Chains A and B, each alone.
Chain A
Amino acid sequence: MSGVRVLVGTQKGAFILTSDEARKAWQIDGPHFGGWEIYHINGSQLNPDRLYASQSTGWFGQLIQRSDDGGKTWEPVNNEFTYVGDPGTHQWYDGTQHPWEFKRVWHLEPSLSDPDTVYAGVEDAALFKSTDGGQSWQELAGLRDVKGKLWQPGAGGMCLHTILLDPNNEKRIFVAISAAGAFRTDDGGETWLPINKGLISPWELPDKDADVGHCVHNLAMHPSRPDVLFMQKHWDVMRTDNAGDLWHEISGNLPSDFGFPISVHAHEPDTVYVIPIKSDSEHFPPDGKLRVYRSRSGGNEWEALTNGLPQSDCYMNVLRDAMDVDQLDSGGIYFGTTGGQLYGSADGGDTWSTIAPNLPKILSVEVQTLK
């Protein structure tokens, strides 16, 4: 079938929504793994029926599920994430050192060149890689060498939540960690660089030259231009044109530059989307109006997209991994809220409709465009 498949991770299970290219009528399949937190589900671009899901609860810990038929059936694969060597300690809230402890998998990113290779971003922050479809996991431990002792958890935990793979260079990977910052490897994960120059976080870090400790919420890239990255930081929307060597602010006229997700249009590398949230103290949209903001100039000039979205008394949040785009010509975009609403637009954000009004709290949204 050609069309769109939306993979939704929620606090109480996974949902898979499908539609044809018109994206008007949706079939909802789920919950898969009912009662479990699904932090993320993601599919391989090479084999869209190969899906990976991160399943966890406080009772039974972490599981990884794999599907080879687009989510109709699932098999648990290996759930053992062991840090290399003695992982040591990182900074704790009170300034003391705290042992590194695995808690959960936040993000799964299948390789662009091999459907059996997949990366997992975990809490406490580390990057793992599997080359056998999830049957075993190896940590890329060089990441923790980048001043890992100075990293400390944000309110949501010390999680590695974003993994971007460079489509032109298999050895280059970008990751982001709360609250440590953004990092890049150019050798497939052996060694890493902090890429946080230009980030200014006076409310989080008194040292404006600090190269780690920044609270990066999400990164986005257009595959045609992998040296240009967009960042939603705790506060500030940022852009780099040199693969993270230097960032500059592009918040411009946003009503608030605090927020979580950031996405790029599938066919317009300078069209960027954010969802402003009032503040770190008040995790809901400014003025009770749920507005996606779109820049068509790569930042700084933003327009509110409101048609079809609630414009009064709206007080939910949109989490960092809960927005994604499709690849159809008209450039569809989707996001899910902590109130359990899944919204979609088939026209780049000009008009929105409610795809699913009553899901559990939405933790992640990934979109597959099926040929």
Chain B
Amino acid sequence: MTDSKTIRVVIPHHLRNLARTGKEVQLEIAGAVTPAAILDELEARYPMLKGTIRDHQTKKRRAFIRFFACEQDLSHAPADAPVPDEVLAGKEPFLIVGAMAGG
């Protein structure tokens, strides 16, 4: 039996409206919990989010999207790097943030 983790994910206002969900969603992720795995599961649950956080083909993060957790900016970390233990334990959420841009 595959061990799975319940990961809390906070998504930004516009994507909540698009996915018709609340501020925080909980995802069951089997195997290594990485930013890529979180986004794979998020897009599987909410297909309308495909292309809004990362490119359809290259999976590269969109320029004005940031990933935060445990007071760290994980945006530039490898997509296949493990997320912090507090996120694995469900104590802290993985935050998907629309970057501050504009005036």
Q: Which residues of A contact B (CB under 8 A)?
A: 35-36, 57-63, 76, 79-80, 82
B99 with A59: CB separation less than 8 A: yes
A60 with B48: CB separation less than 8 A: no
Q: Which residues of B contact A60 (CB under 8 A)?
A: 14-15, 18, 52-53, 62, 65, 98
Q: Which residues of A contact B57 (CB under 8 A)?
A: 82
A57 with B14: CB separation less than 8 A: yes
Q: Which residues of A contact B65 (CB under 8 A)?
A: 59-60
B98 with A80: CB separation less than 8 A: no
Residue B51, interface by CB 8 Å: yes
What 3 pairs across the A-B complex have the smallest Cβ distances?
A60-B52, A76-B48, A59-B64
**Closest Cβ neighbor of A79 among chain B residues:** B51
A36 and B99 CA atoms in complex are apart in Å by 15
A36 and B15 CA atoms in complex are apart in Å by 11
Residue B5, interface by CB 8 Å: no
Known: A35-B14, A82-B57. A59 touches B101 (CB 8 A): yes
A58 with B18: CB separation less than 8 A: no
Residue B91, interface by CB 8 Å: no
Q: Which residues of B contact A57 (CB under 8 A)?
A: 14
A218 and B63 CA atoms in complex are apart in Å by 31
Q: Which residues of A contact B63 (CB under 8 A)?
A: 58
| B56-78 to A contact mask, C-beta < 8 Å, 1/0 | 11000011110000000000000
A59 and B63 CA atoms in complex are apart in Å by 7
Q: Which residues of A contact B62 (CB under 8 A)?
A: 59-61
CB distance from B50 to the nearest CB of A (A): 7
A57 and B53 CA atoms in complex are apart in Å by 12
| B2-25 to A contact mask, C-beta < 8 Å, 1/0 | 000000000011110010000000
- 10 additional contacts, CB 8 Å, given A35-B13, A59-B12? A58-B101, A59-B65, A60-B14, A60-B62, A61-B51, A61-B52, A62-B51, A63-B51, A76-B18, A80-B50
A79 with B50: CB separation less than 8 A: yes
